[in-house]
Amino acid sequence: MVKICCIGAGYVGGPTMAVIALKCPDIEVAVVDISVSRINAWNSDQLPIYEPGLDDVVKQRRGKNLFFSTDVERHVMEADIVFVSVNTPTKTQGPGAGKAADLTYWESAARMIADVSKSDKIVVEKSTVPVKTAEAIEKILTHNSKGINFQILSNPEFLAEGTAIEDLFSPDRVLIGGRETPAGQKAIQALKEVYAHWVPEERIICSNLWSAELSKLAADAFLAQRISSVNAISALCEATGANVTEVAHAVGKDTRIGPKFLNASVGFGGSCFQKDILNLVYICECNGLPEVANYWKQVIKINDYQKSRFVNRVVSSMFNTVSGKKVAILGFAFKKDTGDTRETPAIDVCKGLLGDKARLSIYDPQVSEDQIQRDLSMKKFDWDHPIHLQPQSPTAAVKQVGVVWDAYEATKGAHGICILTEWDEFKSLDYKKIYDQMQKPAFVFDGRNVVDAEKLRQIGFIVYSIGKPLDEWLKDMPAVA
């Protein structure tokens, strides 16, 4: 029986390995992590991450050919194929701080693999890494290997949180990069055989290592660029009276452009887009390509602009101050159907409002109070360094913030509502009931264009929808600079 071990039981390691175990009953899969609490959660009824369909897959295979364990070394030693799916956050200090990928966790995983291995192994980069990481990893492994043969493959993950299981069941493509040597090609073939259990052959793409590594960074940059493009247009729509939904629809009808990923919003978030673009920017700079670096940097600048533009709109609409006013925040996760808050635009929006001394009442169906308080007290880029790996504990809770477990509670007595995640339940709230219990004038700032603005206006709300023609009220209150 082929044995797979995956180091890192996070948003990628957990779901990808659960699906491999489901689709390949002839393969034994062990997912290992240094976080005891995370592994305990994977072995319990309350999985550490929320992802539609994941519970079901885990329950079907756990204890059969899917195991979660903290015994990292034993499972690595026994495995034929070792996936490394540890976090690769942005560096917070030293050269490249704020841009380059921090490969501390990756390097320590590689050193451990070299230390404990007693047989040949295929080591698979699942984490998103800078181009040429495989070369560095190869050096660590071969210099410490005691004659063991390691083949490095790059197999970046393209799943999207919120639809991870669907994406893994039916991926657009699986990408496997390897050395162009006979041994490299043999390793590619071995990994291909794993995916071939359920992925059609024409969707399994093979390439050299560097193309595979770069493709992941490029794919994330392209996706984020579409969002920043439509968000840039949304600002112009508001200034001109055009409607971004109509513009995006017309633009997306061009088959060369396509309709997906053209929803204007308060901005993109998630653990990948910003981190991977910063990483791309850094690699361009290191390779003497400042023009290319600046081009991609602009995607992040527009995203930051969109978040601050939203905050400015909220403040200016509410008589240029939110000081002491209760503002309800509906949604904190970076997108619907996940509890993940890494780089969520809600953090910057909330911090912006707190900067003007607003009182926030936050509701998200999947995010805990602890998580929200931690996110709001953490410094930029600290978020992706797991708590258990951080030297100091999170700072004290933010006092101006309350977290509640109901949208009606959050909006009680509020002056305004900011919708920051597109949870379906926000479309069908009883907005009349909400209006009646709010201060007047009552505002809705829809950062995801989920509500029926016309209906809300009929109730009496002043409504701001991203990129849509503005209410007279909002026109009279130009956004502050």
Catalytic entry in 6, 272, 350, 418? 272
Distance separating alpha carbons of residues 179 and 189, to the nearest angstrom:
12
Site for ligand NAI in 271-290 (CB under 6 A): 271-272
Are 77 and 7 spatial neighbours (Cβ–Cβ below 8 Å)? Answer: no
Distance separating alpha carbons of residues 466 and 470, to the nearest angstrom:
9
CA angle 298, 301, 306 (to 5 degrees): 130
Q: Cα-Cα-Cα-Cα dihedral of 159, 348, 237, 432, to 10°? A: 90
Identify the residue among 5, 6, 9, 442 touching ligand NAI (CB under 6 A).
Answer: 9
Stretch that binds ligand NAI, among 33-41, 130-138, 390-398, 454-462 (CB under 6 A): 33-41
Identify the residue among 13, 96, 178, 184 touching ligand NAI (CB under 6 A).
Answer: 13
Min. distance of Cβ 16 from ligand NAI in angstroms?
Answer: 9
Min. distance of Cβ 72 from ligand NAI in angstroms?
Answer: 5
**Per CB under 6 A, 337 contacts ligand NAI:** no
Count residues contacting ligand NAI (CB under 6 A)?
Answer: 27
**Per CB under 6 A, 467 contacts ligand NAI:** no
Min. distance of Cβ 132 from ligand NAI in angstroms?
Answer: 15
**Per CB under 6 A, 11 contacts ligand NAI:** yes
Binding annotation for NAD(+)? 8-13, 33, 38, 86-90, 127-128, 161, 272-275, 342
Identify the residue among 5, 66, 72, 300 touching ligand NAI (CB under 6 A).
Answer: 72
Min. distance of Cβ 298 from ligand NAI in angstroms?
Answer: 22
370 or 406: CB nearest ligand NAI: 370
**Per CB under 6 A, 76 contacts ligand NAI:** no
Binding annotation? 8-13, 33, 38, 86-90, 127-128, 161, 272-275, 342
335 or 468: CB nearest ligand NAI: 335
**Per CB under 6 A, 314 contacts ligand NAI:** no
72 or 223: CB nearest ligand NAI: 72
Q: What is the CA radius of gyration of the chain?
A: 24
Annotated active-site residue 6? The verdict is no
Site for ligand NAI in 365-424 (CB under 6 A): 386
Distance separating alpha carbons of residues 329 and 418, to the nearest angstrom:
5
Stretch that binds ligand NAI, among 28-36, 328-336, 393-401, 449-457 (CB under 6 A): 28-36
37 or 320: CB nearest ligand NAI: 37
Site for ligand NAI in 107-166 (CB under 6 A): 108-109, 127-128, 157, 159, 161
6 or 311: CB nearest ligand NAI: 6
87 or 245: CB nearest ligand NAI: 87
Min. distance of Cβ 62 from ligand NAI in angstroms?
Answer: 17
33 or 446: CB nearest ligand NAI: 33
CA nearest to 175, candidates 211, 130, 123, 135? 211
Min. distance of Cβ 456 from ligand NAI in angstroms?
Answer: 33
CA nearest to 311, candidates 429, 461, 416? 416
**Per CB under 6 A, 10 contacts ligand NAI:** yes
In the chain the first and final C-alpha atoms are separated, in Å, by: 63
Contacting residues toward ligand NAI, per CB under 6 A: 7-13, 33-35, 38, 72, 85-88, 105, 108-109, 127-128, 157, 159, 161, 271-272, 386
Q: Which residues are catalytic?
A: 272
